[in-house]
Chains A and B, each alone.
Chain A
Amino acid sequence: MLAILRDLIRYNLEFRIGLFLVSIVVVMAALSVVSPYPAGDVYVVPPDLPPSTAHWLGTTSRGQDVFWQLTAAIRNTLFFGIMVAALSRVIALVVGLLAGYSGGWIDRVLMSINDTFIIIPLFPILILFYFVLRDSMSTPLLATIMACLGWAYDARLIRSVALSLKTREFTQTSIFSGMKTHEILAREHLPYVLPIVFSTTMNNMNWSIGIEVTLAVLGFTDINTPTIGGMIYWANQHTALVAGIWWWIAFPIGLVVMTFVGLFLLAVSMNEYIDPRSRLARMGGGR
């Protein structure tokens, strides 16, 4: 695993850029621990100050320091993304491996449900959830709902890997040696599936963070927990752009774009690494 990481850092520009961007974002999130201001409090600093040495990224109309507010916001946003990704990975793995391995009618039924979740527009469903839950819609609940809706695409990918694994020789050996289905899945197939899980995790985080930002900006989440979307929501509420408080909007957007591009580049470079064709070429193969 470490050797893979070293290879990627050394030879893959996309991975380097992605790692750099994500590192900045993670450092920002980590800084929230040493924030001089409680993230939930308002009017702790003079409002509407442009960026200066005292307040690096300025202050908001609600009297918050943009830099320190951002550290808390990006932490919560990242956390949300990780939560959704982790939960939906579990569903995607179970469904994907089960469908790919079992085949037959189990596969058909699971993939029919799977395709349904791919086809259905999830955003109106999420809005419907918010509409009926209102203030009961907490961040963990939203994460759970999104995980339950956002596993389908990756389950399909994992299934296709499981399908190809199924025909390999070692699976047959395992069956003849009397291993149970769940043992075969966990011990023999998981190591092959994990790299794909890893790269889809990045993409899934992008997806969930994107939706969270959007829902928050529309005011459809718990707006009292600082998140990137929440910051933009409050900036819109105070018509920050019209008032010329551009730093209130520009920096959150800049940071979240860094997050998206960084995670995406990590996923892409990892995919390229996993891809058997480029792996073969790397090992100097070919006829």
Chain B
Amino acid sequence: MNAYLAYFAKRLVQFVVVVFIGVNLAFVITHASPIDPVEQSIAAVTSFGSTAPEAIAAMRSSLQELYGLKGTVAEQYVTFWSRVLRGDFGPSLSAFPTPVSSLIGRALPWTAGLLIVSTLITWVLGNLLGGLAGYYQRNRTLKLMGVVAMGVHPIPYYIVALMLLIIFGFLWPVLPITGGSAMNLQQGWNWPFVSSVARHSILPALSLILIGLGSWFLGMRSLVSNIVTEDYVVYAETAGLDSRRVLGSYVMRNALAPQVTGLAMSLGGIFNGAVITEKVFGYPGVGTLLVDAVYAGDYGLVLGVTTVSIIAVSVGVLVIDLLYPLIDPRVELR
């Protein structure tokens, strides 16, 4: 039992370290910048006409307040952390006066839904097929899949999304290529809305799945082709165990643990992919929100989305890590 407690404590510490470094990184990046976001916003506003110097001074003061840029760097640092901990990033400039947190709150379920569903499909399917390919190494179909995976896997998310957009937007327009749902529908648990959401998510999900499938497939295939030579697999085969039992409980089961760790390790990369894919398909998640915030020069929103992304991915990793002992009881080895 102590081994488990030590394991959980270690994971929690790592979680705190990740969030601490990540959030500090965001603070350092924004504060080491040669460009003052306050002056930038003022320039954007005043460029449309002359504004009284008093008005500019008032604006500067309130923007500094808004961005948490008042006082010394140490004071700003404290302000920054207290905002992060309260989840309050002030109002959005581009959607004034909507708070940044509620914009993110609106976008997060879309991203979470897309990401969780497509990642689960990818992980399960990729590992299943890759495991079969590693076990039945002479199977032609599985070999061919390996070749396809090698060809598709290295292509970045953006290019795959763009190719799908070209195919389904221009060559064979059967699927919606933009948005999260049809515009005229009542949001909620009703069939027209849910089916519209599902239809709109097909292309973004497909591009995430196409890319991810290859890496799980190839990873699992090479894991399995090593595990089949392990003593316990050879021994089970020697004992005449049913080959499906050997594949399931001996080979795949033992390959699963590193693949779960791999999922935790690649969650950040998968999130990157989702950000990009969302923008290509105009999907109303945090990715689109982030890119549009950059275009709109919305400092609070960019900072808010970045910080929340770091925390959200870290939480995802923590959840996987905490579930890991269910997959592998040998936690003291980690």
A and B touch in the complex (CB under 8 A): yes
B119 at the interface (CB under 8 A from A): no
Tell me whether A14 and B150 are in contact (CB under 8 A). yes
Tell me whether A120 and B35 are in contact (CB under 8 A). no
Q: Which of B45-53, B70-78, B306-314 contacts A (4 or more CB under 8 A)?
A: B306-314
Chain B interface main SS type = helix
Q: Which of A1-9, A44-52, A82-90, A249-257 contacts B (4 or more CB under 8 A)?
A: A249-257
Q: Give the residue of A116, A129, A136, A213 whose beta carbon is less than 8 angstroms from that of B156.
A: A213
Interface string of B159-195 (1 = CB under 8 A from A): 1001100100110000000000000000000000000
Q: Which of B21-29, B197-205, B232-240 contacts A (4 or more CB under 8 A)?
A: B21-29
Q: Which of B95-103, B133-141, B250-258, B263-271 contacts A (4 or more CB under 8 A)?
A: B263-271
A241 at the interface (CB under 8 A from B): yes
Q: Give the residue of B18, B150, B156, B290 whose beta carbon is less than 8 angstroms from that of A214.
A: B156
Tell me whether B313 and A260 are in contact (CB under 8 A). no
Q: Give the residue of A124, A153, A217 whose beta carbon is less than 8 angstroms from that of B275.
A: A124
Interface string of B298-326 (1 = CB under 8 A from A): 01001101100110011001000000000
Which chain A residues lie closer than 8 Å to B162 at the CB level? 217, 232, 249, 253
**Which residues in window 28-50 of A have CB below 8 A to B?**
none
Tell me whether B158 and A217 are in contact (CB under 8 A). yes
Tell me whether A132 and B29 are in contact (CB under 8 A). yes
A103 at the interface (CB under 8 A from B): no
Interface string of A150-188 (1 = CB under 8 A from B): 000100000000000000000000000000000000000
Tell me whether B157 and A118 are in contact (CB under 8 A). no
Tell me whether B18 and A120 are in contact (CB under 8 A). yes
**Which residues in window 1-24 of B have CB below 8 A to A?**
14, 17-18, 21-22
Tell me whether B309 and A121 are in contact (CB under 8 A). yes
Report A5 CB to chain B, min CB distance, Å: 21
Q: How many residues of B contact A (CB 8 A)?
A: 51
Report A144 CB to chain B, min CB distance, Å: 13
Q: Which of A64-72, A93-101, A190-198, A261-269 contacts B (4 or more CB under 8 A)?
A: A261-269
B223 at the interface (CB under 8 A from A): no
Closest residue of chain A to B316, judged by CB? A119
Which chain A residues lie closer than 8 Å to B22 at the CB level? 116, 120
- Of the A-B pairs whose beta carbons lie under 8 Å apart in the complex, a sample of 26, sorted by A's number, is A115-B14, A116-B14, A116-B17, A116-B21, A118-B265, A119-B267, A120-B268, A120-B314, A121-B268, A123-B271, A124-B272, A125-B310, A128-B29, A130-B294, A131-B294, A132-B30, A153-B265, A206-B154, A209-B156, A210-B156, A213-B158, A213-B159, A241-B169, A241-B170, A249-B166, A264-B153
* Contact surface of B with A, Cβ cutoff 8 Å: 14, 17-18, 21-22, 25-26, 29-30, 33-35, 37, 150-151, 153-159, 162-163, 166, 169-170, 226, 264-265, 267-269, 271-272, 275-276, 279, 290-291, 294, 299, 302-303, 305-306, 309-310, 313-314, 317
* Contact surface of A with B, Cβ cutoff 8 Å: 14, 112-113, 115-116, 118-125, 127-134, 136, 153, 206, 209-211, 213-214, 217-218, 220, 232, 241, 249, 253, 256-257, 260-261, 263-265, 268, 277
* 7 more A-B residue pairs beyond the given contacts A121-B310, A123-B272, with a C-beta to C-beta distance below 8 A: A116-B21, A132-B35, A218-B279, A220-B294, A241-B170, A253-B159, A257-B159
